[in-house]
Amino acid sequence: MKRIYLKIGTALMATMLFLGCQKNVLDKVPLDSFSDQLVWKDMKLAEAFADFQYSILPNPGHYWDKLSNRTWALSSACDEAFNRFDDYNASIMNSGSLTPDNLNNFDIWDETYKRIQDCNLFLSKIDAVPGDDATRNRLKAEITYLRAYGYFKLVSDYGGVPLVKQPFDLNSKFETPRSTFEDCVAFIVAECDAAAAVLPVNYGSGSANLGRATKAAAMALKSRVLLYAASPQWNTTDNADKWKQASDAAKAIIDLPQYQLFTGGYENLFTVWNSEILMARMGNKKYQWSSFQGAEMFLAPCGFHGWSSFAPSQNLVDAFGTADGKDITDPTSGYNPQKPYENRDPRFYSDIIFDGRPYGRPDFFKDRYTAGHSNVAEMYEGGLDSQQGWDTWNASLTRYSFRKYQDTTFNFNVETQTNKFWVISRLGEIYLNYAEAQYHLGNSDVARHYLDLLRQRTGIAGTLPGSLTGAALLAKIQNERQVELCLEGHRYYDVRRWKIADITENKPLGGVKIVKNADGSKTYTYMKVQDRVFKPQHYLLPIPREEIRRTNMPQNPGYN
């Protein structure tokens, strides 16, 4: 069996960095005096060590060099968005030039294994730490969930990876066999079950524990990993048992009475804690160095002094249907490409900033009014939010910006970002997981029902027709995931597990050019923003060359 040698991170240094924000701990000893022995003799220090491991989860901030944090970057590495600043080196993937030597900021291998090593260390030490068993058991379950999440990230990118379950020390041989994808999935599922058996179902909306792992969080991770395992990328024989496991895992969450679809305004789902959120990574503006790390700054249009850093593609915009739920390609939908923003899916208006859409509070953007304009986005040629407008280096090349995830109740040009979160799992995703699994089990009526529940909660009237079956229903399920979950980190993996990335990612990324005519009307010309290339090997990432050289392990297919 092939073996792999893993680099080990320094656990205590990570802990000490986290403790810089914990005043109750700092009263005990100087920050640079924490030893390995001391940490494992004090439950509060051990808890702080455990808390730091939450850094394995996606984060709501924009960190250019944070290798394990690819929240926003995943959108620009698929057909969802364009990042003109190439913050996470997605252009390497989009150009078809990906190799084991140039993953750069898109590579999560080392950073994720560092956190897994810390999780293993914690689990090996915590039983001997003096303290109450309730805290100990909760922390063990949280770390079990976090380790499972780390492995889920790895297998999603690389396929089967080494399952390291015990901490390495200086006497270790630093080697462990690479497991199969199936073995990794079985381990992740078992870890999720173990964590779910201990953790509370949820925490109240005002709880100081919001953002900690819960039973629902562990169940949601199990649902996602089983859905991936049942999908064509890994379930090449379309084994119905795998779809049944995915269906059962999703339904178990749907049946939890503590969670419901949020109906308090779709755009608020991502800025206000609510009953739909199963798990989220919390943010705290107290520890942000500037508003640059806030979603508002790097998503807003340039005429509002934002960066348009991750700009929606025309590909994504075209995925949104019309107000009655029809696809824009349906000749009965009434869609007019020269009046493209009329009568669209309500989620379009919540998620996308387009030409003519008001943005934010007028009193936050007085300079626009002083110049004779307003808070209405001007993406047309010569408009404030165009390449001929203000802050042109930040103009969106697709002529769209994301509204999703933005809190417009504060002035991001004056204040540091608000306290916000990154949604890791929510009930809307679980409905889609269940619909997809039920479709593959032959229950089209159930699949349509759960799609309808999602569509109706945002204002789409009516239900999907009973005649929608077969390949057309599968396409609608995929379309609903593309729309409902946009900018949440799903699309990149969805097109790969469905084995359609060779189609969706081999198309040019599109945008629109808008010309304002003398009579005030506008002409829309749809254009190419960037060529995209996807090769067969890109369904998985290459294992970093340095790891291959150290171990002589076989590379993922196509990267030799």
Which pair of tokens denotes residue 33?
Answer: 């005096």
Burial class (CB in 10 A: 0-12, 13-18, 19+), 371: exposed
Cβ contacts of 329 within 8 Å, gap of 6 or more: 335
**What's the one-letter identity of residue 288?**
Q
> For residue 531, which of 510, 500, 554 has the smallest C-alpha distance?
510
Q: How many CB atoms are located within 10 Å of the residue 196 CB?
A: 23
> For residue 36, which of 19, 17, 11, 8 has the smallest C-alpha distance?
11
Distance between CA atoms of residues 439 and 299, nearest Å: 35
Which pair of tokens denotes residue 554?
Answer: 């076989």
Q: DSSP string covering 260-280, please?
A: ----S-GGGGGTS--TTEEEE
SS (H, E, C) 331-370: CCCCCCCCCCCCCECHHHHHHEECCCCECCCHHHCHHHHH
pLDDT on residue 65: 62
Distance between CA atoms of residues 261 and 254, nearest Å: 10
CB-CB contact of 2 with 178 (8 Å): yes
**What's the one-letter identity of residue 286?**
K
pLDDT on residue 17: 38
Distance between CA atoms of residues 119 and 134, nearest Å: 19
pLDDT on residue 110: 92
Instruction: Determine the distance from the C-alpha atom of residue 543 to the mean position of all C-alpha atoms in its chain, rounded to a whole number.
Output: 21
pLDDT in tens, 526-547: 999 999 999 999 999 999 999 8
pLDDT on residue 549: 87
CA-to-CA separations, 188 to 86, 111, 235, in angstroms, rounded: 32, 19, 17
Phi, then psi, of 164 in degrees rounded to 5: -95, 115
pLDDT on residue 9: 35
Q: How many CB atoms are located within 10 Å of the residue 126 CB?
A: 21
pTM value is 0.93
CB-CB contact of 297 with 288 (8 Å): no
Cβ contacts of 287 within 8 Å, gap of 6 or more: 21
Distance between CA atoms of residues 453 and 368, nearest Å: 40
pLDDT on residue 397: 98
Please determine, looking at this structure, whether the domain spanning 3-217+540-551 carries the CATH number 3.90.850.10: no
| In the block, residue with structure tokens 């999935």 | 185
End-to-end CA distance of the chain: 19
Q: 300-335 burial string, b = 16+ CB within 10 Å, else e? A: bbbbbbbbbbbbbbbbbbbbbbbbebbbbeeeebeb
CA-to-CA separations, 407 to 2, 271, 305, 360, 529, in angstroms, rounded: 49, 6, 15, 9, 28
CA-to-CA separations, 528 to 314, 507, 533, in angstroms, rounded: 9, 10, 14
Beta-bridged to residue 281, according to DSSP, are 422
CB-CB contact of 68 with 81 (8 Å): no
Mean pLDDT of the chain: 90
pLDDT per position in the chain (560 positions), as tens? 333 334 433 344 444 334 333 333 323 343 344 577 889 999 999 999 999 999 999 988 777 666 667 888 899 999 999 999 988 888 999 999 999 999 888 889 999 999 999 999 999 999 999 999 999 999 999 999 999 999 999 999 999 999 999 998 766 666 677 899 999 999 999 999 999 999 999 998 888 899 999 999 999 999 999 999 999 999 999 999 999 999 999 999 999 999 999 999 999 999 999 999 999 998 877 665 555 678 899 899 999 999 999 999 999 999 999 999 999 999 999 999 999 999 999 999 999 999 999 999 999 999 999 999 999 999 999 999 999 999 999 999 999 999 999 999 999 998 877 778 999 999 999 999 999 999 999 999 999 999 999 999 999 988 999 999 999 999 999 999 999 999 999 999 999 999 999 999 999 999 999 999 999 999 999 999 999 999 999 999 999 999 888 877 889 999 98
Distance between CA atoms of residues 503 and 129, nearest Å: 53
Domain ranges of the chain: 3-217+540-551
